[in-house]
Structure formats: C-alpha cells, structure tokens
C-alpha cells in the first residue's frame, strides 16, 4: 500500500470536492468537505452521529486512541452538516448509508470506509495525486502548518505525540524547508 498525500494546492482541494460530487454523488463530496475541515480519522468521521453535535461543537471519543475530541465546527462544516440534517431528518449518522434503508428491522449504519477510500483513490488518480482517506487529515494539518508555522499547534489538532510524527504525516519535505529558507529574507 502506497502512502497517501495531502493536497497542497487550495484550488485542487475545491476541485476534489467538485469531482467527487460529479463522479460519486453529493454524499461522498460531503465526506471530503467535512473531513478536510474537522481533520478526523475516517473511522471517527463516518461514525459521527447527529447527537454528537451540540450547536457548532462536535464531541466524540476517537476509535483509535480513546481520546475525547472536542471540535468547534467551522462555518463550512457546520453548514454542510445542517443541510444533511435538514435533508435527512430521521438519520442517526451524518454520513448514513442509504444502501440498507429499505431493509425492515435493519439498524442504521454509516457509509463504509471502503467506498469512500475507493472514491478518493480514483479521483486522486484523475488528479495525479496519491489520495486516500487520510488525505483529509493530512491536508488540514499541512495547511494549518503553512498558515501558522506552529508544529505544536498542528500536533494538538491531530492529537499526535511527537513533532517528527506530525511533520512526516503532513508531508513537510526537505524541499518545503528549503523553499522556506529561500523565501524568508530578513
């Protein structure tokens, strides 16, 4: 399995959403749009229930770490989630699977990680970028780092335990560091 990347170009992030909507539907595009704004792992993102959201605050226990995540939803994520709730008022999950909606006595389930991963991979190939479900988190972390140059802040957002892990995760390369030295003239 190859390592997936962050999307470093802001226009490509928007294009990703457009292509996902055209190729796979609005629900998969919404997964991307919310995911890139909340920086959760895919298992946590897909497991968000409407009851986990109180006004503009998301609180959930992360599957992988068991840590409690408190995330203030930005305007973009909040509006998408609000639209989903308005469109599907009886859903339990923000990204609920529509596949089993006609099966009687079937418990609601979120979208599968597999379908989201497949969609991201295929659109990524179209864009010439190796993408997967972690690309949302990596993209958010990369852009926060480029905006603030505060690796500790990015570490806290991603709930990582070391700076080295975070730098490697968001794809900060020696080329990026060299460019920073070249462009920052004092």
Catalytic annotation, pick one of 64, 70, 114, 183: 64
Give the distance from CA 147 to its chain's centroid: 18
Concerning whether 5 is annotated as a catalytic residue, the answer is no
Catalytic annotation, pick one of 134, 138, 140, 143: 134
Concerning whether 70 is annotated as a catalytic residue, the answer is no
Concerning whether 64 is annotated as a catalytic residue, the answer is yes
pLDDT tens, 25-83? 999 999 999 999 999 999 999 999 999 999 999 999 999 888 889 999 999 999 999 99
What is the average per-residue pLDDT within 109-126?
96
Give residue 22's region: left, alpha or beta (phi > 0; psi -120 to 50): alpha
Concerning whether 160 is annotated as a catalytic residue, the answer is yes
pLDDT at 125 exceeding the cut of 60: yes
Identify the CATH number of the domain defined by range 10-179.
1.10.443.10
Concerning whether 106 is annotated as a catalytic residue, the answer is no
Stretch among 6-20, 49-63, 78-92, 103-117 having the lowest mean pLDDT: 103-117
C-beta separation of 145 from 114 below 8 A: no
Catalytic annotation, pick one of 5, 41, 138, 140: 41
Catalytic annotation, pick one of 24, 91, 93, 137: 137
Instruction: Collect all residues with Cβ–Cβ distance below 8 Å to 145 and sequence separation of at least 6.
Output: 151, 154, 170, 172
Domain boundary assignment for the chain = 10-179
């Amino acid at each position: 399995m190859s390592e997936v990347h962050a999307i470093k170009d802001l226009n490509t992030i928007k294009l990703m959403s457009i292509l996902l909507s055209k190729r796979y539907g609005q629900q998969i595009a919404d997964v991307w749009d919310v995911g890139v704004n909340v920086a959760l792992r895919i298992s946590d993102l897909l497991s968000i229930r409407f009851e986990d959201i109180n006004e503009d605050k998301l609180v959930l226990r992360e599957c992988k770490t068991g840590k409690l995540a408190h995330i203030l939803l930005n305007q973009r994520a909040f509006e998408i989630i609000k639209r989903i709730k308005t469109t599907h008022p009886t859903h339990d999950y923000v990204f609920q699977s529509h596949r089993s909606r006609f099966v009687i006595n079937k418990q609601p389930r979120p979208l599968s990680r597999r379908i989201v991963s497949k969609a991201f991979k295929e659109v990524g190939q179209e864009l010439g970028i190796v993408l997967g479900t972690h690309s949302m988190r990596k993209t958010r972390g990369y852009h926060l780092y480029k905006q603030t140059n505060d690796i500790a802040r990015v570490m806290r957002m991603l709930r990582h335990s070391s700076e080295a892990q975070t730098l490697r995760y968001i794809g900060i390369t020696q080329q990026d560091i060299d460019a920073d030295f070249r462009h920052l003239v004092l």
